[in-house]
């Protein structure tokens, strides 16, 4: 497969008019996803596809075209469309801002491919579903969720001499258990190797949260101390990626770190990086422009250090790409980190983190997070699938879900302690192309988080 | 299924994006016992389709046994259909498109103090060939087109943004390039630019319960999140609990659930001219319909598929199964979920009838809980209403509420002359993720006692 995508990228590049530079980006996907609800299978999707994206540069403008056809005629037509676009842009606007395609690429290797996962074995998925349903039934709850595996190959070939290819696999399972009285619990696992997923353990954890006894307590609106589990921390980091570490927003003065790089923006215990080859992440070698990916410190000891760039946003900021292009020539919504890693602390687990809290919340996950105002890092989300009250240092009983509306950097500034075992959290897959990504983060305790009231 | 798309964007006098994409492939959906299997391949050949069929069967058979409901009966969909398109957007030259956007961008940048000016347009064509073992065989071609402006200003107190005609890709309709030409981007740009700079020094929208007037995109998104998603029958039945969520609505509440005030009449209409949720047949081969969802404030129906309709005893699917391209299986999705107009006259009439309140314009942020009950929205701008007149421009408006209580506070609805469609092009649902495109028709509406200033 690896050779096929690289060959396709080279063939596509040959078919493209040269312009002032041309680049072919290939993403080839084989994937399988099984879904289940109310302890029954509901949907299954098997995908085999490959997309060629051709970018042609003309006088500082990038024209892009894509196709999933692979014959010579289709590739040539795709190249012509890209070139026509770039030439039209040049005629319309004079010299453009794009500084040119990256000229160097020596991406480091990684071990992000697992042959067993790449088999995409539906029987293995079926067995995972059965195991989850069985474990949920043992606790008297229903199981809902997703099991998915995928193999993706990326390849980039450019007239600037870049030729890179990588092959990755990902496996993800989540289980949401719902008890007869309506309480729910969540657990998930994300990994390179499907053999590392443990469906019964995930289902048992989700069932434990759902089956917790007691009437849900209602916490009043206001500011409360919180213990966030890694899934909730990951959602906050994703939102920060969009509004704070996005190099395009930052260069436009709209980002939350505009004018704040080099200053204290989080608690001194916060160390956050984008580390594409960190041990438990979903590794990546290079971006959609063929730029090698490497570790990049985002926040060190609470001080903001960097935002991420593709070539276009880097040029706008007077700098260079950090290897975060999601499309050749840059994505209009701007680049975001792909492999955030937050360093853990000394607490053994969430229970230990809760010990100093007199009255607060334990939050398993956050959902429907959205940026309210990027420049303030003001975000909103609702708690879901495992919200509990903390009383006198103990996680005691279920609590109603709450709406969080607060500054994400302010939340990080109020971090008092972190757990010692960061874990990879992921949503499995976002919309469009399969590009499995996630953040490695620990549970943590915040001194003060603003909730505007009950939700759900 | 074959898809063509194009997006052109100009930013600060330079071309920001010029993307042109095409993809094509075959998706095969099978049912074995009660289990579904779906396999997609880019190989649009007999051999490719046969391989996809075998894979779909293999996947379906590998899953645990499932009872599954019968499918609601449906006559085979047969024929051809092409949506409205007077001027093929893919035949319009790039030069014309760039000139149109360039003029709008230039008009924005004439305003001093702007940080970023953007103008964009997009076009999409989806050609579906559908065949089923029940005898269905249809060909359907739908074309969409749209455009919009975004102006950003940055001041000492932060960044402000104004979009027109709407945020999130502007105004998109099922139409040809004539829709883009009908939008006066360059002519409206000066007002948009002036407003965003004015927002930098405008007072914050006050907090607390207030009378709120919503219109256009924001009212459409309110419908989308708190009505459209809540009545998707797969969610109501718990099938989306692990991702999109469930619903506060129950299957046995048709005819009894008080969803809103007696002024509230909502129709899910796959026949609305120009709507992104309009089609002749859905991706399950069911003919598009206009279904009552809420009548005089009471729940009357759901958005459904053949399977979900059968599960609750409905005679027929609502025809709401839509797929985002060949590599995604159809899901229960919205058609155009429209709020029928009332009799309160024009927006000016409604404002004149409002002693004190706030008019909100253009969505900026959105979030709602997994049961579609508690929501929070932010808008780009607001105007205070004093003594029946528009007053000061206000910045950072936001509001929150509970779905039935909010719709219960609807006390005035403008007349049919004010009714128009607003587009939503980024509706996410499903795993693997799918983006649906839909429109929502509404006339400006007034709500009492809405909690403002929550963010």
At residue B83, the pLDDT reads 98
Lookup: tokens for A129? 């579903």
Q: Please indicate, yes or no, whether residues B311 and B280 belong to a single structural domain of this protein.
A: yes
Q: Please indicate, yes or no, whether residues B36 and B91 belong to a single structural domain of this protein.
A: no
Distance from CA of A410 to the nearest CA of B (A): 14
Residue A93 pLDDT > 90, yes or no? no
Lookup: tokens for A333? 């919504």
Contact A342, A272 (CB under 8 A): yes
Q: Please indicate, yes or no, whether residues B240 and B351 belong to a single structural domain of this protein.
A: yes
User: Cβ separation of A368 and B398 shorter than 8 Å?
Assistant: no
User: Cβ separation of B59 and A381 shorter than 8 Å?
Assistant: no
* B 107-126: CB under 8 A from A: 115-116
User: Cβ separation of A253 and B154 shorter than 8 Å?
Assistant: yes
| CATH number for the domain formed by residue range(s) A2-210 | 3.30.2290.10
Q: Which residues contact A250 (CB under 8 A, 6 or more apart)?
A: A244, A257, A258, A307, A313, A317
Q: Please indicate, yes or no, whether residues B403 and B276 belong to a single structural domain of this protein.
A: yes
Q: Which residue has the tokens 């058979």?
A: B61
Going by the DSSP 8-state scheme, the letter that residue A194 receives in this structure is: G
Residue B281 pLDDT > 80, yes or no? yes
Q: Please indicate, yes or no, whether residues B371 and B434 belong to a single structural domain of this protein.
A: yes
Q: Please indicate, yes or no, whether residues B87 and B127 belong to a single structural domain of this protein.
A: yes
Number of domains chain B is built from: 3
Q: Please indicate, yes or no, whether residues B283 and B384 belong to a single structural domain of this protein.
A: yes
Mean pLDDT, chain B, integer: 97
Distance from CA of A131 to the nearest CA of B (A): 10
C-alpha gyration radius of chain A: 23
pLDDT tens, residue by residue, B347-363:
999 999 999 999 999 99
Q: How confident is the model at residue A1 (pLDDT cuts 50, 70, 90)?
A: very low
Q: Please indicate, yes or no, whether residues B147 and B94 belong to a single structural domain of this protein.
A: yes
How far is residue B298's CA from residue B293's CA, in Å, rounded to a whole number? 8
- Mean pLDDT of the region B370-391: 97
Q: Does the CB of B393 have a partner CB in chain A at under 8 Å?
A: no
Q: Which residue has the tokens 């657990």?
A: A187
At residue A108, the pLDDT reads 87
Task: Give the residue on A whose Cα is nearest the Cα of B454.
Answer: A452
At residue B334, the pLDDT reads 98
Residue B300 pLDDT > 80, yes or no? yes
Q: Please indicate, yes or no, whether residues B299 and B431 belong to a single structural domain of this protein.
A: yes
Q: Nearest Cβ partner of A61 from B15, B62, B368?
A: B15
Angle at A191 between CA A35 and CA B36, to 5 degrees: 15
Q: Nearest Cβ partner of A45 from B62, B329, B370?
A: B329
Give residue B107's domain range.
2-18+80-131+139-199
At residue A430, the pLDDT reads 63
pLDDT tens, residue by residue, A302-339:
999 999 999 999 999 999 999 999 999 988 899 999 99
Residue A3 pLDDT > 80, yes or no? no
At residue A429, the pLDDT reads 65
At residue A44, the pLDDT reads 95
Q: Please indicate, yes or no, whether residues B68 and B170 belong to a single structural domain of this protein.
A: no
Interface TM-score (ipTM) > 0.85: yes
pTM over the 0.95 mark: yes
How far is residue B43's CA from residue A70's CA, in Å, rounded to a whole number? 10
Contact B103, B185 (CB under 8 A): yes
Q: Which residues of B touch A238 (CB under 8 A)?
A: none
Residue B198 pLDDT > 90, yes or no? yes
Distance from CA of A345 to the nearest CA of B (A): 31
Q: Please indicate, yes or no, whether residues B73 and B122 belong to a single structural domain of this protein.
A: no
Query: Which residue did the predictor score with more confidence, A321 or A94?
Result: A321
Mean pLDDT, chain A, integer: 95
Q: How confident is the model at residue B243 (pLDDT cuts 50, 70, 90)?
A: very high
User: Cβ separation of A68 and B159 shorter than 8 Å?
Assistant: no
pLDDT tens, residue by residue, A397-422:
999 999 999 999 999 999 999 999 99
CATH code for the domain of B169? 3.30.2290.10
pLDDT tens, residue by residue, A45-67:
999 999 999 999 999 999 999 99
Q: Please indicate, yes or no, whether residues B258 and B173 belong to a single structural domain of this protein.
A: no
* B 75-94: CB under 8 A from A: 93-94
Q: Where are the domains of chain A?
A: 2-210, 222-454
Strands B374-386 and B398-402 turn out to be antiparallel
Helices A72-93 and A2-15 pack at an angle, to 10 degrees, of: 50
């Amino acid at each position: 497969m690896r050779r096929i995508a690289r060959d396709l990228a080279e063939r596509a590049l040959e078919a493209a008019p040269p312009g002032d530079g041309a680049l072919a980006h290939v993403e080839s996907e084989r994937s399988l996803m099984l879904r289940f609800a109310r302890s029954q299978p509901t949907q299954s999707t098997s995908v085999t596809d490959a997309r060629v994206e051709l970018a042609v540069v003309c006088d500082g403008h990038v024209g892009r075209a894509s196709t999933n056809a692979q014959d010579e005629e289709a590739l040539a037509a795709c190249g012509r469309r890209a070139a026509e676009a770039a030439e039209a842009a040049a005629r319309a606007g004079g010299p453009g801002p794009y500084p040119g395609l990256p000229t160097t690429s020596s991406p480091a290797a990684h071990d992000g491919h697992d042959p067993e996962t790449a088999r995409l074995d539906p029987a293995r998925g079926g067995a995972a579903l059965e195991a989850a349903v069985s474990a949920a039934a043992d606790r008297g709850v229903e199981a809902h969720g997703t099991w998915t595996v995928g193999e993706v190959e990326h390849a980039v070939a450019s007239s600037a001499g870049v030729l890179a290819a990588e092959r990755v696999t990902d496996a993800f399972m989540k289980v949401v258990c719902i008890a007869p009285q309506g309480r729910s619990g969540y657990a998930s696992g994300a990994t390179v190797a499907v053999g590392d997923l443990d469906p019964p353990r995930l289902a048992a954890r989700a069932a434990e949260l759902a089956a917790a006894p007691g009437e849900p307590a209602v916490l009043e609106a206001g500011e409360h101390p919180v213990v966030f589990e890694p899934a909730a921390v990951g959602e906050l980091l994703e939102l920060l990626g969009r509004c704070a570490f996005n190099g395009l927003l930052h260069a436009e003065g709209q980002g939350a770190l505009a004018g704040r790089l080099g200053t204290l923006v989080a608690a001194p215990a916060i160390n956050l990086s984008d580390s594409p080859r960190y041990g438990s992440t979903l590794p990546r070698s290079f971006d959609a422009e063929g730029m090698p990916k490497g570790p990049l410190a985002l926040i060190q000891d609470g001080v903001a250090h960097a935002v991420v760039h593709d070539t276009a946003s880097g040029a706008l900021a007077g700098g260079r790409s950090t290897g975060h292009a999601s499309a050749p020539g840059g994505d209009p919504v701007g680049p975001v980190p792909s492999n955030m890693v937050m360093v853990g602390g000394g607490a053994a687990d969430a229970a230990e983190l809760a010990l100093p809290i007199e009255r607060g919340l334990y939050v398993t996950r956050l959902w429907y997070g959205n940026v309210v105002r990027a420049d303030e890092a003001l975000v909103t989300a609702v708690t879901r699938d495992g919200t509990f009250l903390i009383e006198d240092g103990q996680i005691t009983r279920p609590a109603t879900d709450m709406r969080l509306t607060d500054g994400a950097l302010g939340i990080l500034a109020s971090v008092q302690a972190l757990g010692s075992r960061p874990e990879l959290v992921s949503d499995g897959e976002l919309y469009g192309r399969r590009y499995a990504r996630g953040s490695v983060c620990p549970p943590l305790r915040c001194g003060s988080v603003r909730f505007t009231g009950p939700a759900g | 299924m074959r898809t063509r798309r194009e997006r052109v964007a100009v930013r600060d006098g330079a071309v920001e994006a010029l993307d042109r994409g095409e993809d094509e492939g075959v998706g095969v959906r099978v049912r074995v016992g009660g289990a579904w299997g779906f396999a997609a391949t880019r190989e649009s050949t007999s051999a490719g389709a046969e391989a996809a069929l075998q894979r779909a069967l293999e996947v379906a058979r590998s899953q645990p046994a499932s009872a599954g409901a019968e499918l609601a009966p449906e006559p085979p969909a047969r024929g051809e259909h092409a949506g409205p398109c007077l001027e093929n957007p893919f035949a319009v030259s790039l030069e014309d498109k760039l000139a149109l956007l360039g003029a709008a961008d230039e008009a924005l940048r004439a305003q001093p103090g702007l940080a970023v000016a953007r103008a964009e347009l997009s076009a999409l064509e989806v050609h579906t060939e559908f065949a089923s073992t029940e005898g269905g065989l249809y060909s359907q071609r739908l074309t969409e087109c749209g455009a919009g402006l975004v102006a950003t200003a940055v001041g000492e107190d932060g960044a402000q943004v104004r979009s027109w005609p709407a945020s999130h890709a502007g105004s998109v309709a099922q139409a040809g390039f004539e829709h883009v030409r009908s939008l006066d981007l360059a002519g409206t740009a000066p007002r948009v630019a002036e407003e965003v700079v004015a927002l930098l020094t405008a007072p914050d929208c006050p907090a607390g319960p207030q009378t709120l007037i919503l219109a256009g995109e924001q009212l459409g998104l309110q419908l989308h999140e708190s009505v459209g998603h809540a009545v998707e029958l797969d969610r109501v039945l718990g099938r989306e609990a692990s991702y999109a969520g469930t619903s506060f609505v129950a299957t046995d509440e048709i005819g009894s659930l008080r969803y809103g005030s007696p002024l509230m009449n909502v129709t899910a209409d796959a026949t609305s001219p120009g709507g992104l949720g309009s089609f002749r047949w859905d991706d399950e081969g069911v003919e598009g319909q206009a279904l009552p969802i809420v009548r005089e404030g009471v729940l009357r129906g759901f958005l459904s598929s053949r399977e979900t309709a059968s599960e609750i005893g409905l005679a027929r699917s609502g025809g709401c199964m839509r797929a985002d391209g060949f590599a995604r299986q159809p899901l229960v999705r919205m058609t155009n979920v429209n709020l029928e107009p009332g009799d309160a006259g024009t927006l000016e009439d409604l404002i004149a009838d409002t002693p004190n309140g706030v008019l909100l314009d253009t969505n900026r942020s959105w979030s709602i809980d997994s049961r579609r009950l508690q929501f929070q929205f932010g808008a780009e701008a607001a105007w205070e209403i004093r003594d029946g007149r528009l007053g000061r421009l206000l910045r950072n408006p936001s509001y929150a509420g509970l779905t039935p209580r909010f719709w219960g506070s609807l006390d005035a609805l403008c007349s049919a002359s004010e009714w128009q469609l607003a587009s939503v092009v980024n509706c996410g649902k499903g795993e693997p993720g799918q983006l649906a495109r839909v429109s929502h028709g509404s006339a400006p509406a007034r709500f009492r006692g809405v909690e403002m200033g929550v963010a």
